[in-house]
Amino acid sequence: MPRSAAQKWMTRAKRRIPLIEVMNNFPDTKIDSLDPRNRAQILSMARQLLRADNVGMFCTIDESGFPQARWMATMSFDDFPDLYTLTSARSRKVAQIQAHSTVHWVFSNRDLTFIVNLTGSAEIYLHEAEKMKRIWQQIADRSRAFFMQDPAKGPGFVVIHTKVETIECTLPRKVVTVSIDPVEMREAFATAKA
């Protein structure tokens, strides 16, 4: 049985394991065997990182124009290049997205040798009951929706919908960045499901 995020956190705290190990389930990459010219290999690696059980860094712009980053863990990639995540209706990121819709996501493997950057525009689903219900059902691991654990703080959740417009895969040790068209990535997701 998979362990919850809280159980993983406690294990990390007890053993002093680096946070990235707890947060990201993707194994280390054999960087020497990864060929940045091999499009299929890059797409496969990116698709493996863009999974609902991986944690991503979500970046918005605050009211002062400064970037704000936070870890997000309740995601769905089922409709890629549309990425969905859940958050509290009262979170600061909701107001930030409403003021500045450009957002950025970062996903990496455990050893940080393969990084996927997604940039796009975001919108908030607050009153779209049918869409919210459908997306709620797509979220694979709602145990990390920590904002849902205190009902006294107000209504449940909102959905952040990111329309991914650009994708860049970076191999820092090889000093290489590969751009991927979101449509090409969507096709890689579809092929993996088939």
**In the block, which residue shows the tokens 């089922």?**
78
Q: Are the beta carbons of 164 and 182 closer than 8 angstroms?
A: yes
Tokens of 81: 């290049």
What angle (nearest 5°) sits at the alpha carbon of residue 21, between those of residues 15 and 26? 150
**In the block, which residue shows the tokens 């797409």?**
43
Mean pLDDT by 10 residues, the chain (194 residues): 50 47 53 82 92 90 96 88 90 95 95 95 89 82 63 70 97 93 92 77
Q: How far is CA 132 from CA 55, 84, 112, 157, 184, in A?
A: 21, 10, 33, 9, 26
Domain residue extents for the chain: 5-193
For position 152, what pLDDT does the model report?
53
- What top-level class would CATH report for the domain 5-193? mainly beta
Q: Looking at residue 3, what DSSP letter applies?
A: P
Q: Give the global pTM.
A: 0.79
